[in-house]
Amino acid sequence: MRAFAIAAAALLVGFTAAEAQTVIDPVYARAQALVSEGQGAAGRALVDSMYRSTTPGSGERAEALFWRATLAPTAADAERDYRAIIVDHATSPRVEDALLRLAQLELARGDRDGALRHLQRLSTEFPGSWQGARTSYWTARVLFEKNDLTAACAANAQALARIAATDVELRNQIEYQQQRCRGAVSAATTPVAPPSTPRDATPSIPVDASVVRPAAPAAPAAPAATTVRTYSVQVAATSTRAGAQAIVNRMSARGYQARIDGTAAPFRVRVGRYDTRAAATRALNEMKAKGIDGFIAIIEGR
């Protein structure tokens, strides 16, 4: 319980810093303030009232679930609502937040592999996420705890490269963590001199030139296959094909020809195939105007 309380406090601080420029509904802002002031029951009651006023499957319901999880009294309550966002609101922008929070909860209870699974899913399914630097930072943090120094330093360097100039607090955390990489990087980059061979060295067994065959000529390299790149709009990714099909059905009801890409989890729900990123971006903007969120997925083919 104490571990969750510490983790929850860290989540509140991280959320405030990361979304300082996001307009928060005044009710949720008030609820957050009440919880921070020690009036947890009152703050959660406000969130519950908002939840009851929303429609199942709506963006408002996903937002209410996010805040109910953020201000939850226990880790189990928070995890339940974050998972509900991922499963029942796969097209909501809050899916990215939910995946990151689930990773942090897993780490708080010592499940490093579970934390990595959420972080890897976030990185894979949302490559253009605004959470990119934060995802890399937490990935590095988990890998440091697993004593995988090489991978941890690579993830931390990626976090440093992706951090926004305005996110000073996160930059400080990444740079502090980077200190653990200095010795490792120095050792890894120190050149090792090859063993020297004396100038007058001769083979211990004389080589008979008559049995030395010339090397066969190298076969000509096969021409490289042409890679075709197309673009699509990804609106969701789920752990089950049934969940993905349900989203396809909902998209079809709204007039979109959605499909499921992939034969194993995660099952990605995508719309359209476009020859250029510009065409895919126009389609995405039209979808966002109708309340459907997503991102541009690059599809490599031959």
Max Cα distance, the chain (Å): 94
Selection from 215, 221, 260, 218 nearest residue 241 by Cα: 260
What pLDDT shows up at residue 219? 59
Alpha-carbon distances of 59 from 93, 232, 267, 276, rounded to whole Å: 9, 23, 21, 30
Q: Are 68 and 44 in contact (CB under 8 A)?
A: yes
* Cβ-proximal residues to 247 (8 Å cutoff; 6+ apart), any chain: 90, 91, 235, 236, 238, 258, 269
Q: Are 162 and 198 in contact (CB under 8 A)?
A: no
User: Mind giving me the DSSP string for 28-51?
Assistant: HHHHHHHHHTT-HHHHHHHHHHHH
The residue to which tokens 């049934």 are assigned: 242
- What pLDDT does residue 187 have? 46
3-state secondary structure of 117: helix
CATH label, 228-301, candidates 3.20.20.450, 3.40.50.11540, 3.30.70.1070, 3.30.70.20? 3.30.70.1070
For 274-295, the pLDDT digits (tens) are 999 889 889 988 888 887 877 8
Q: CATH 3.30.70.1070 residue ranges in the chain?
A: 228-301
pLDDT along the chain (302 residues), means of 10: 46 42 79 92 95 92 95 94 92 91 93 94 84 92 93 93 87 90 59 48 43 52 66 84 86 90 85 91 86 80 58
Q: What is the pLDDT of residues 202-246, one digit of tens each?
A: 444 444 444 444 555 555 665 555 667 888 998 887 778 888 888
